[in-house]
Amino acid sequence: MNRTAPEQTKLTICVWHPFSEWRPPATLADAIRSRWPAMRVVHLPDYDRLAQELPDTDIFVGYSLRPKQLLEAKKLQWIHSTAAGVAQLMYPDLRDSGIIVTNPSGIFSVPMAEHTMGLLIALARNFPDSVRYQDRGAWSQQQLWDIHPLTELNGKLLLIVGYGSIGHELARRARAFDMRVWGVSRSGKGDATLAEKIVPVSQLREVLSQADYVVVSAPETAETRHLMGAAEIAMLKPTAYLLNVARGSLLDQSALIAALQQNKLAGAALDVTDPEPLPAESPLWRTPHLFLTPHTSAISDRLWPRQTALLLELLQRWFEGRELFNLVDLHRGY
C-alpha cells in the first residue's frame, strides 16, 4: 500500500450519534489541520453529504461505514474507528478490501474501570435501593439489610471475563480494595502482574462457580455472543453478582432476568443492553436487584483530548511510513 503525503491526502471525519458526546468536536479537525496544513480535512456533522465526499477520501474517521458506502470510497486506504467496538465494520467486503482498520483501544480503559469499580461498590453496599428509599423519604436501614446483607469487597474473588486493557485497569483498582482477581482471555495469556491467574475462555465454566463478582468486558464478536448464557449464569453461586460493561449481545438477558427473579443471584449491574436505547417496556427496568446505567462507562470529559492525541500519533506514523498501532484483526473482529 502506497501511503499518501499530507498534501495528497483527504481525511473525512463523519460521526453522528443521538448522544452528543460520541460526535467528534470541531477541535479534532482543527488539531489535524494545525499539524498538517496541506492536508484536506472534511468534518461532516451528519451523513447527508457523506456519499459525495467519499469517492476521493483516503482516510475515513468514524465508527460506521456500510457496504454500499464502502463501494463509493474508491481511494480509501484506512478507516480509523472512533469506537473501540468494530463489529459494525466486520462484513466480507471490508475484510477483503485490503483497507486498514484501527480503533482507539485503550483510551476508554480508565473511565470504564472507574465506572465498573463504582458498580462493584454500589452492589456491595446496595446504593441503588438506598436511593430508591431516599426518593420515598424512608429511613431504610432495616429494609436494606433484609434485601441483602451489606457486604465488603475485600477478600472477594473478582473474575474478569475479557482480560484486556479495561480488565487490567479494573484489576489495578480492585487490588487496591484487597480483592482477589482472576482473568479470562481468549488464549489464557495476558499480563498476570495483577491477577492470581488467567485462564482461557474454554475454561470459563470451570471458574464461574468460584467467583463472587463476574465482570464481562470482552470484545463483541460472533464467538462472544451470549458468552454469558443460561448455562453460564446457572453456574454462579446465589451470593454472586454479575456485571456487563462490554456489549449487550454478550449476555443472555432473559436468563439474567430469570435468575434475578428467582433469587439465584445476589444482584447484577448492566451498563450495556440489547437493544440500545433500552425500550421503556423492557422487563429489565423492573427486574429486582438489577442496577442499570445507560452505557456511560466509557464517557469522560477527557474523551476527545485522548481521541485526538491518539489519532495524531497514528497519522504521524502513517505519513512517516512507520507501523501503526491499534490495528484491528479483521478476522477476529477486534
Query: Which residues are part of the catalytic machinery?
Result: 247, 276, 295
Query: Residue 184 and residue 188: Cα distance in Å, rounded?
Result: 6
Report CA-CA distances (Å) from 47 to 3, 10, 17, 50, 172. 26, 17, 10, 5, 40
Scan for cell 498534501, then name that residue: 7
> How many other CB atoms are there within 10 angstroms of residue 227's CB atom?
23
- Helix H or strand E encompassing 314: helix 303-320
The secondary structure of residue 69, as a DSSP letter, is H
Say if residue 294 is preceded by a cis peptide, omega within 30 of 0. no
Residue 175 amino acid letter: R
Give me the long-range contacts of 200-203 (CB less than 8 A, separation at least 24): 201/161, 201/227
Say if residue 275 is preceded by a cis peptide, omega within 30 of 0. yes
- C-beta separation of 288 from 63 below 8 A: no
Rg of the chain over all Cα atoms, to the nearest angstrom: 22
- Closest by CA to 293, choosing from 145, 111, 162, is 111
- Helix H or strand E encompassing 258: helix 253-261
Q: Provide the grid cell at 179.
A: 480483592
- Closest by CA to 250, choosing from 277, 279, 278, 270, is 270
